[in-house]
């Protein structure tokens, strides 16, 4: 459904007690002049020369010499495909999560949890590839297990290389030997992973897997991370430089995750935005369990909206469907680019609401806070609620806030400009010369406090990446947390980083010894 982008879409942080037309200019982020002047370039050049007097490691040199290119960062590439294959319950999904560095695939200590082929973009030692998790392969099975086995066989045929996972504690079974036959027929490069090796005795068990005839078995503990580096080195080496089976992954529409506590109106909001009953809505909390994707066009721009299960207070105490729903919600946040956190305006802000907001911030995603059921609030109550919100969310005042009603659609059109502003900030890059000019003026006016008779001096700063914006500061000494927060606050005021977390890291470097 396409929404009308009229002048009534307006001020994101206005108190939603007025239904009169709003000033459209308020929806537009202020024009930021990010052009470097000659003075900015000269300052950057001088500071770089000054850095040569300090001890810099290879990582520092790589960061300082890298040239930013928006075209390169957004270029679409065909990535080689690495499939994880094995019989049920040998730890394939655990290994996938270890490689990704996050809990993406659902894991449980019983066979048959994974059923589909699921692809994830991954990276190791600067090499990007597509990682494919598969269900367990079994011989002579019927029903759903046979379909799972078929999917695993398809994954082998569509892979450029395969990691074959065997439970070293159990040893090679008849099923494992049948998988070896399947892999040999495929002709694909195979790296043998001997999983569940937690010590020296396990390494002896892994040595028996030489008998499979697939070369050196790499002893690994996917659960604890032991040996996964050597395994990945071998796997990346087996991948071809040019993929024969990879497909082009388009950048596509921006992904928006609707998150919040159970029963705050996430599904109702998705239905209202989509213009149809896309997802089930019920008064019972926890109706949604699996993330539901919907492509919706708003103001002529397509977005992927993802409705997620409500994030409960004690995830570690849940089990069954609710437990898996919580994992999938966390994965949906990681896959999204902006998280819209719904909060129930008719009830006091809870610790769980704060935790959900913090989860989006910790994942490095852009953030919009939507106060639902605002139309039910008494007119006299609204000003007091505004002050309560400012007090409760004092640490994240940078997040745009929208007051709306998911049930009736009241003021829901304000969500779009808030998302646009957050995403624009999430993608924003400050030229190095302009960044150092900004810091030079800031430090001159407000120097770092003296500690122990010494004063830390900022030598140079650069923006290492976007999504979210990450800044690296080179200094002669430790920069206190309070001063870093001060720098972050001024960065937001000067460059308009509304709706995105900012990461600032400090590298302390000493002068070279002569």
Instruction: State phi, psi for 177 to the nearest 5 degrees.
Output: -65, -35
Kind plus residue range of the DSSP H or E element containing 175: helix 174-186
Tens-digit pLDDT profile for the chain (514 aa)?
Answer: 334 333 323 322 332 333 333 333 333 344 577 888 999 999 999 999 999 899 998 888 888 887 654 443 434 568 899 999 888 888 888 898 889 887 665 454 444 444 345 677 889 988 899 888 877 776 655 555 555 567 677 778 888 999 999 999 888 888 888 889 888 988 999 999 999 998 887 888 899 899 899 999 999 998 888 999 999 999 999 999 888 776 555 456 899 999 998 888 888 898 888 876 654 444 444 444 334 567 888 888 889 888 776 666 554 445 544 565 566 677 788 889 999 999 999 888 888 888 889 999 999 999 999 999 998 888 888 888 888 888 888 889 999 999 999 989 888 889 999 999 999 999 999 999 999 999 999 999 999 999 888 899 999 999 999 999 999 999 999 999 999 999 999 999 999 999 999 999 999 999 887 6
Choose among 319, 291, 259: nearest CA to 110.
319
Q: Are 178 and 166 in contact (CB under 8 A)?
A: no
Cβ density class 268-285: b for 16+ within 10 Å, e for less: bbbbbbbeeebbebeeee
Q: Cβ–Cβ contacts within 10 Å for residue 70, how many?
A: 10
Q: Round to whole Å and give the CA distance between 280 and 287.
A: 7
């Amino acid at each position: 459904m396409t929404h009308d982008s009229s002048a009534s879409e307006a001020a994101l942080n206005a108190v939603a007690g007025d239904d009169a037309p709003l000033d459209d200019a308020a929806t537009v982020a202020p024009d930021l002049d990010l052009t470097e002047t000659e003075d900015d370039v000269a300052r950057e050049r001088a500071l770089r020369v000054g850095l040569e007097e300090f001890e810099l490691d290879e990582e520092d040199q790589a960061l300082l010499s890298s040239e930013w290119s928006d075209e390169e960062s957004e270029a679409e590439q065909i990535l080689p495909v690495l499939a994880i294959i094995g019989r049920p319950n040998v730890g394939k999904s655990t290994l996938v999560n270890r490689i990704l560095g996050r809990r993406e695939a659902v894991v449980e200590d019983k066979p048959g949890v994974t059923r589909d082929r699921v692809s994830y973009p991954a990276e190791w030692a600067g090499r990007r590839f597509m990682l494919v998790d598969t269900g367990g392969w079994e011989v002579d099975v019927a029903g759903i297990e046979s379909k799972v086995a078929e999917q695993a066989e398809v994954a082998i045929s569509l892979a450029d290389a395969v990691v074959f996972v065997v439970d070293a504690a159990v040893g090679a079974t008849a099923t494992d030997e049948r998988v070896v036959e399947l892999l040999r027929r495929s002709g694909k490069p195979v790296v043998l992973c001997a999983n569940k090796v937690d010590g020296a005795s396990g390494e002896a068990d892994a040595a028996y897997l030489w008998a499979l005839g697939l070369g050196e078995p790499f002893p690994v503990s996917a659960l604890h991370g032991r040996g996964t580096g050597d395994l990945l080195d071998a796997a990346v080496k087996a991948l071809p430089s040019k993929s024969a089976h990879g497909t082009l992954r388009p950048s596509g529409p921006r992904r928006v995750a609707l998150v919040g506590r159970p029963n705050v109106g996430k599904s109702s909001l998705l239905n209202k935005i989509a213009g149809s009953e896309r997802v089930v809505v019920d008064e019972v909390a926890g109706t949604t369990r699996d993330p539901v994707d919907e492509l919706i066009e708003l103001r002529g721009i397509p977005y992927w909206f993802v409705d997620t299960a409500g994030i409960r207070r004690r995830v570690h105490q849940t089990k069954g469907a609710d437990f898996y729903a919580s994992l999938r919600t966390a994965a949906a946040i990681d896959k999204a680019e902006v998280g819209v956190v719904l909060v129930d305006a008719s009830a006091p802000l809870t610790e769980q609401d704060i935790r959900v907001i913090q989860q989006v911030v910790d994942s490095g995603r852009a953030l919009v806070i939507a106060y639902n059921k605002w139309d039910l609030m008494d007119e006299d109550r609204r000003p007091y609620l505004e002050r309560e919100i400012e007090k409760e969310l004092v640490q994240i005042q940078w997040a745009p806030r929208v007051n709306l009603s998911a049930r009736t659609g009241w003021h829901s059109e304000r969500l779009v400009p808030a998302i646009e502003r957050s995403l624009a900030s999430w993608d924003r890059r400050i030229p190095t010369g302009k960044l150092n000019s900004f810091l030079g003026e800031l430090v001159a006016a407000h120097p770092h406090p003296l500690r122990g008779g010494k004063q830390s001096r900022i030598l140079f700063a650069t923006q290492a990446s976007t999504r979210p914006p990450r800044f690296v500061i080179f200094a002669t000494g430790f920069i206190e947390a309070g001063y870093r927060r001060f720098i972050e606050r001024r960065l937001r005021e000067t460059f308009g980083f509304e709706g995105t977390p900012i990461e600032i890291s400090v590298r302390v470097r000493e002068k070279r010894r002569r």
